[in-house]
């Protein structure tokens, strides 16, 4: 008796899809670069008496160390990024971070005011290059559908530096002197150079045929509405953020500025986390919701500006709704710009810094003319205008649906 051979089964088991993971250590190098750039900018604000005494100048002149750094960022961002598009990305980032190491060291060694200002200006230029690179470079590390989440991780460095930069600089200055603080920043930059060189992969620059003229990138559909929203939103934020002390004084909590800023920073980080979860699928919805929430926070602060509890509620809403703004705006402009993303990001950096400076100017004028109580109402107006721009810009900027969706 023979036994018939059974046919082999044709049923196959499909393995479960492999869950893609973000390259956290690589992305955190970019987070650290952004943190370092902002820390280097804001830190002198907490060291003005020491810098003034050390360089034998007034505190007003010492404050120009912050101003020259910001001007350097504005001046360098667009032309340097545009001129270096053909360069490989990692060497350019290493040059920029290395420049922070060199010119923070010069600042630490200098006893001459003019030399110090020059070092701060060039350090600011390096910062402008870093900010122009971060978004486009970090997006290339991950697949398209994770690019927004990657930017959220990269963006965490910003609120941490803004929240802790000045008090940390003041604390370190009391321990090591103002020059010692710059030595510490130089050491951090050097460590970051090693980190980037060891872990972050290189990517080629753009070929000649990919390098669009700056004017053409600016005129790309969607770019100008996004830049307008950036200016309005960041201007509104910085009017209140820069002059938070006199505003809090109206509610009788002027002596708790440090605690309120810490609360803002913590809620901003929570806002970034939430934005990172959904930005790749719901960019438009998140942007509209964040701006609407920002306007609502301004309304709460305006109506309840004499109540400590209302002000605290307003600050929490402000932090939650503004925290994800950089991630949303960087994602939107990179999506709209395509091959021109790096230059578009440098435009974002320029407009961002102009809005920061504008917040200081406009806030100062409002404070002198009508008092801190007008801040929330101006924020509300600017937030509503930005919301209208987003609402009418859905074909090319702030698109609905998931990235790459037909």
Q: Are 263 and 316 in contact (CB under 8 A)?
A: yes
Q: What is the pLDDT of residues 109-164, one digit of tens each?
A: 999 999 999 999 999 999 989 988 887 888 889 888 888 888 888 878 877 787 77
- Report the range of poorest mean pLDDT among 15-24, 74-83, 260-269, 361-370: 15-24
Q: CA neighbours within 13 Å on the CB side: how many for 55?
A: 28
What is the pLDDT confidence band of residue 5, given thresholds at 50, 70 and 90? very low
- Comparing 12 with 52, the larger pLDDT belongs to 52
The CA dihedral of 335, 200, 124, 41, to the nearest 10 degrees, is: 100
Report the pLDDT averaged over residues 306-317: 94
Q: Which two tokens stand for residue 280?
A: 């790749």
Report pLDDT for 295: 96
Q: Does domain 214-391 have CATH number 1.10.268.10?
A: no
What is the pLDDT confidence band of residue 182, given thresholds at 50, 70 and 90? very high
Q: Are 400 and 394 in contact (CB under 8 A)?
A: yes
Task: Give the span between the Cα atoms of 257 and 270, in whole angstroms.
Answer: 20
CATH superfamily to which 24-209 belongs: MFS general substrate transporter like domains (1.20.1250.20)
Task: Give the span between the Cα atoms of 331 and 229, in whole angstroms.
Answer: 13
Task: Give the span between the Cα atoms of 118 and 113, in whole angstroms.
Answer: 9
Report the pLDDT averaged over residues 77-86: 85
Q: What is the pLDDT of residues 268-294, one digit of tens each?
A: 889 988 888 888 888 899 999 999 999
Q: Enter the pTM of the model.
A: 0.78
Report pLDDT for 266: 86
Is the fold of 24-209 the same as that of 214-391?
yes
Report the pLDDT averaged over residues 44-65: 84
- The terminus-to-terminus CA distance of the chain in angstroms comes to 63
Domain ranges of the chain: 24-209, 214-391
Task: Give the span between the Cα atoms of 406 and 176, in whole angstroms.
Answer: 57
Report the pLDDT averaged over residues 293-303: 96
């Amino acid at each position: 008796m023979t036994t018939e051979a059974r046919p082999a089964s044709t049923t196959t088991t499909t393995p479960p899809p492999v869950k893609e993971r973000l390259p956290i250590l690589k992305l955190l190098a970019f987070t650290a670069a952004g943190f370092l750039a902002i820390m280097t900018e804001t830190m002198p604000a907490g060291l003005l008496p020491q810098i003034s005494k050390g360089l034998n100048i007034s505190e007003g002149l010492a404050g120009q160390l912050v101003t020259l750094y910001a001007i350097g960022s504005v001046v360098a961002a667009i032309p340097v990024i545009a001129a270096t598009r053909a360069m490989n990305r990692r060497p350019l980032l290493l040059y920029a971070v290395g420049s922070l190491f060199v010119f923070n060291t010069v600042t630490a060694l200098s006893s001459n005011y003019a030399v110090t200002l020059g070092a701060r200006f060039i350090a600011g230029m390096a910062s402008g290059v870093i900010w122009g690179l971060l978004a486009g470079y970090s997006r290339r590390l991950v697949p398209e559908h994770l690019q927004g989440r990657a930017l959220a991780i990269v963006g965490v460095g910003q609120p941490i530096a803004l929240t802790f930069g000045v008090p940390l600089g003041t604390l370190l200055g009391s321990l090591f002197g103002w020059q010692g603080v710059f030595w510490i920043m130089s050491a951090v930059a050097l460590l970051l150079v090693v980190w980037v060189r060891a872990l972050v992969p290189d990517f080629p620059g753009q070929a000649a045929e990919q390098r669009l003229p700056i004017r053409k990138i600016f005129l790309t559909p969607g770019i100008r509405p996004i830049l307008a929203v950036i200016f309005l939103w960041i201007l509104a934020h910085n009017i209140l953020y820069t002059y938070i002390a006199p505003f809090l004084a109206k509610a009788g909590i002027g002596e708790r500025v440090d605690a309120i800023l810490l609360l803002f920073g913590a809620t901003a980080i929570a806002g970034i986390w939430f934005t990172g979860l959904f930005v790749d699928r719901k960019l438009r919805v998140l942007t509209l919701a964040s701006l609407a929430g920002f306007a609502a926070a301004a309304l709460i602060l305006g109506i309840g500006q004499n109540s400590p509890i209302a002000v605290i509620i307003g600050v929490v809403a402000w932090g939650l709704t503004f925290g994800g703004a950089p991630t949303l705006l960087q994602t939107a402009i990179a999506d709209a710009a395509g091959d021109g993303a790096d230059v578009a990001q440098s435009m974002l950096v320029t407009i961002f810094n102009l809005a920061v400076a504008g917040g200081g100017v406009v806030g100062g004028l409002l404070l002198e003319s009508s008092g801190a109580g007008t801040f929330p109402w101006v924020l509300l107006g600017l937030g509503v205008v930005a919301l209208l721009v987003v609402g009418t810009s859905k074909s090319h900027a702030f698109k609905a649906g998931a990235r790459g969706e037909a």
